[in-house]
Amino acid sequence: MPAEAMGAVVLGPQWPGAPGWLLLPLRSGDATAGELVERALDAAGLLGGAPLPAHLALVAGEWPLGVRELRALAERLGARGVRLTAVCSADPRSRVAAAAVGLQTCSPGPEGLAAGPEQSAPNPSHQALSLQCGTLRSGDHLEAEGSVLVLGDVNPGARVSAGGHVLVWGRLRGIAHAGCKGDALARIVALQLRPLQLRIAGAVARGPEDSPAAGMAEQASLVDGAIRLDPAPPVWPLNMSPDSPDRDGARSGGRRFGPNLPRPQAQP
Amino acid sequence: MTAQSSRYILICSGKGGVGKTTLTANLGIALARLGARTAVLDADFGLRNLDLLLGLENRIVYTAQEVLAGSCRLEQALVKHKQEPNLALLPAGNPRMLEWLKPEDMRQIAAMVGEQFDYVLIDAPAGIEGGFRNAMAAATEAIVVTTPEVSAVRDADRVIGLLNSEGVKPIQLVLNRVRPKMMASQEMLAVDDVTDILALPLLGLVVEDEQVIVSTNRGEPLTLGDGGSPAARAYTNVARRLCGEDVPLIDPSKERQGLRARIGRLMQTKIF
């Protein structure tokens, strides 16, 4: 990490054509993100070194950035001929905001963007939980490194993808992708599971057509390469070890649902 | 500068053709008749037709464009309604205006209008691009119009997400073009289905009404008449609820199921 501890830092691209990085410091003091960026850009200009990169990815860390802030930031950068292309943030709301502004998003570190999806090993990081308060509406796309808990509904047209589990305290009616980095043990749990489409690791399934029994939380998990729906066990999934006996259909009666198979009946 | 009490209400839907402009015109008239000084602002610069619906097309001399450019005063551009002096229209400029209009311009013009009016209704264009974002910049609250169709509801949901992220609230819902018969026979999304997804307070239900088409072509909003048609009553109720009056909502799928209604429907059925 470069010397300047308190301000934002501009780093040149790692290879020609790649975006440069704009690193925000840890949150402290009362300067806004915009001011820090302005100062960093001034500094980069004054040093007279390499010209500013044409594309910048913002590494925002914990900074909460709304649509307005991001747009203002993009404008400031635009005024200097720099285009903001991506935002890496640890804060899921910032990522949703960034996606709404039309920027690429990735979770915390710059490694995510630099490495690309091929290189990341399927490393289950279920324990890292990020929280989304409020309903995800059509067009929103929430991405999380570890597991994600949505307090609210996921409406039709919205997407949630997580490296770990997807947990929805509400109705899941959009698209959910658990284990999007290849973790086949990830699962999707919702108070009402009525998705348009489910994905776990590499498997894809359409949601059931008929409506589920009321008041029954359900989970989807991957069994023998196909996605299956079961009533959700009354266990917080983040504490469950992968080889727990409750996994992989030890419970009787769960049914697979591929394209358009009927939904399992309520279990006794 | 701006009167604190003025309300800047965006009327939007995402999808086109669900009745944004019709609602704006009718709500404008209804609010004016309730005694509120009301301005309707056409933010649909590309395809303006709020002036048509209000029957004011031939009275437009200046537009918002000239006001922003400083070539006329706001008072010159505002077109007073023929029958309802409480209502004024600020017409949109020509479609080329889209290219240079900024959200700040919209904010500025809305603030100017707000100095003289209690309600500023902003008729947003369809879509979620520049024009919509401009319109949204000027608003402090919103009415989302949707019809009981999957596509309209989906688009409305997207728009609500954008309004939330811009901090526009409260957002209220008007369900337009409801066909009670189809709802009762479950051929159409029910009111509950829509409010379930959108999770917004319902400001009004407007039933499908042929009179709306007639009134649009005539340039006389329905609320201008004596409220004979069901849609006119619904629009007036929306206006009254907007003013804070407590008017009960009637679910059309549960209404008109008595014997008289059934006979009435039977008599409407064409035999030939």
Using a CB-CB cut-off of 8 Å, the residues of chain A touching B155 are: 138
The tens digit of pLDDT for each residue in B40-73 reads 999 988 888 899 999 998 889 899 988 988 999 9
Average pLDDT for B8-18: 95
Residues A149 and A242 in one domain: yes
Share of chain B above pLDDT 70, in %: 89
Out of A66, A96, A137, name the one closest to residue B158 (CB). Answer: A137
Residues A139 and A237 in one domain: yes
Residues A167 and A82 in one domain: no
**d(C-alpha A191, C-alpha A169), whole Å:** 6
Structure tokens at B182: 């189809």
Q: Has residue A233 got a pLDDT over 50?
A: yes
Nearest CA in chain B to A68: B166
Predicted TM-score (pTM) of this structure:
0.66
Nearest CA in chain A to B197: A155
> Domain for residue A265, yes or no?
no
Nearest CA in chain A to B150: A156
Structure tokens at A145: 């490194």
The answer, for A153 touching chain B at a CB cutoff of 8 Å, is: yes
Q: Which of A28-32, A171-175, B5-9 is least confident?
A: A28-32
Q: What CATH number does the domain containing A202 carry?
A: 2.160.20.70
Residues A243 and A153 in one domain: yes
What is the pLDDT confidence band of residue A236, given thresholds at 50, 70 and 90? confident
Residues A20 and A51 in one domain: yes
Say if the Cβ atoms of A140 and B161 lie within 8 Å. Answer: yes
Q: Has residue A221 got a pLDDT over 60?
A: yes
Out of B158, B160, B166, name the one closest to residue A67 (CB). Answer: B166
What is the pLDDT confidence band of residue A115, given thresholds at 50, 70 and 90? very low
User: Do A189 and A217 touch, CB atoms closer than 8 A?
Assistant: yes
Q: Has residue B2 got a pLDDT over 50?
A: no
Q: Which residue has the higher pLDDT, A46 or B156?
A: B156
What is the Cβ-side half-sphere exposure of residue B78, based on CA atoms within 13 angstroms? Answer: 20
Going from N- to C-terminal start, the domains of chain B cover 7-268
The answer, for A93 touching chain B at a CB cutoff of 8 Å, is: no
> Domain for residue A262, yes or no?
no
Please say which residue of A70, A96, A119 terminates a domain.
A119
> Domain for residue A202, yes or no?
yes
Residues A180 and A243 in one domain: yes
Residues A163 and A88 in one domain: no
User: Do A171 and A194 touch, CB atoms closer than 8 A?
Assistant: yes
The tens digit of pLDDT for each residue in B95-141 reads 776 677 889 999 999 999 999 999 999 999 999 998 899 999 999 99
Q: Has residue B165 got a pLDDT over 70?
A: yes
**Which pLDDT score is estimated for A4?**
42
Say if the Cβ atoms of B154 and A97 lie within 8 Å. Answer: no
The tens digit of pLDDT for each residue in B229-257 reads 889 999 999 999 999 999 998 766 555 55
> Domain for residue A195, yes or no?
yes
What is the pLDDT confidence band of residue A106, given thresholds at 50, 70 and 90? confident
What residues make up the domain containing A203?
129-256
Tell me the residue type at A130.
S
**Which pLDDT score is estimated for A126?**
60
**d(C-alpha B50, C-alpha A228), whole Å:** 52
Q: Tally the domains of chain A.
A: 2
Please say which residue of A55, A85, A119 terminates a domain.
A119
Residues A217 and A169 in one domain: yes
Residues A166 and A95 in one domain: no
> Domain for residue A216, yes or no?
yes
Please say which residue of A74, A96, A119 terminates a domain.
A119
Out of A68, A139, A156, name the one closest to residue B161 (CB). Answer: A139
Average pLDDT for B25-36: 95
CATH 3.40.50.300 correct for B7-268: yes
Query: What are the Cα distances from residue A64, in Å, to A90, A233, B101, B215?
Result: 9, 34, 29, 49
Q: Which residue has the higher pLDDT, A71 or A52?
A: A71
What is the pLDDT confidence band of residue A179, given thresholds at 50, 70 and 90? very high
- Three-class DSSP labels, chain A: CCCCCCCCEEECCCCCCCCEEEECCCCCCCCCHHHHHHHHHHHHHHHCCCCCCCEEEEEEECCCCCHHHHHHHHHHHHHCCCEEEEEEECCHHHHHHHHHHCCEEECCCCHHHHHHHHHCCCCCCCCCEEEEECCECCCCEEEECCEEEEECCECCCCEEEECCCEEEEEEECCEEEECCCCCCCCCEEEEEECCCEEEECCEEEECCCCCCCCCCCEEEEEECCEEEEEECCCCCHHHCCCCCCCCCCCCCCCEECCCCCCCCCCCC
Chain B, 157 to 176: residues with Cβ < 8 Å from chain A are: 157-158, 160-162, 164-167
What is the pLDDT confidence band of residue A56, given thresholds at 50, 70 and 90? confident
> Domain for residue A114, yes or no?
yes
Using a CB-CB cut-off of 8 Å, the residues of chain B touching A100 are: 161-162, 165
